[in-house]
Amino acid sequence: MESIEVKIPPLDRRTEEAFKTLRTNLQFCGKDVKSIALTSCTPNEGKSSVSLQLARSLSENGKRVLFIDADLRKSVILSRCQVGQTVKGFSHYLSGQCAFTEAVYMTNVRNLHMIFAGPVPPNPAELLGSNAFKIVIEKMKTVYDYIIIDTPPLGSVIDAAVIANECDGSILVVKSGEISRRFARKIVDQLRMADCPVLGAILNSVDMKKNSYGNYYGKYYGKYYGQEVDKYLEG
């Protein structure tokens, strides 16, 4: 396993508190919820940033975390982390071009390891639905406390549902003021059809000048669990 310098963007105080609240709520989902897929309805809802910052927050709380960039079609994580070197990625491993340990990188965040997406393959959904993916998720759950998986938007491609089928839970990231409840309900239904519990929804990019959610919510806002997800989507 190689060590590289991964520069995760810093957060302001209010946003940092929001992620601490999110982290705490996630831990109340139970010790059996270890592999978690994050998706969105459409691109540019902040899904990748939320996934990465959640992984960082869990790591800073002493949890061993593996972050997997499984957006094999259009990843932004490598550029966001300002990695200035060539790396092996998840597509390399799933297609048999490298060993799993060659695709895992230590970071400058204690307890946080990462797998980048790698080059865009011609068959992303097939690779993600392979036995190699299923086996590695099961094995890594014996090594890490949490596996946070950034997936493509489910409203655009089916990849997130394929990934969620092998996960203990899923989270939907929704950009405030951009997505209709009807569209969000459709995505939640797809996740449930993948036989993956929907742990909650994260309302992202809330305009704090127009909305007041208290001192614990900055750019990212909250998480709803169980029936609260349905209330949000139906409301």
Query: Is residue 32 within 8 Å of residue 39, measured between CB atoms?
Result: no
CA–CA distance, 203 with 200 (Å, rounded to integer): 10
pTM for the predicted model, two decimal places: 0.87
- Which backbone phi and psi does 35 adopt, to 5 degrees? -105, 120
What would the pLDDT profile of 32-65 be if each residue is shown by its tens digit? 999 999 999 999 999 999 999 999 999 999 999 9
Kindly indicate the confidence band of residue 140, based on its pLDDT and cuts at 50, 70 and 90.
Answer: very high
Residue 8 is classified by DSSP as P
Residue 80 CA: distances (Å) to CA of 94, 182, 213: 23, 31, 28
The predicted model gives 109-137 an average pLDDT of: 95
Helix (H) or strand (E) holding 103, with range, is helix 100-103
Helix (H) or strand (E) holding 184, with range, is helix 181-193
Q: ∠ CA 35-36-37 to the nearest 5 degrees?
A: 130
pLDDT at 12: 82
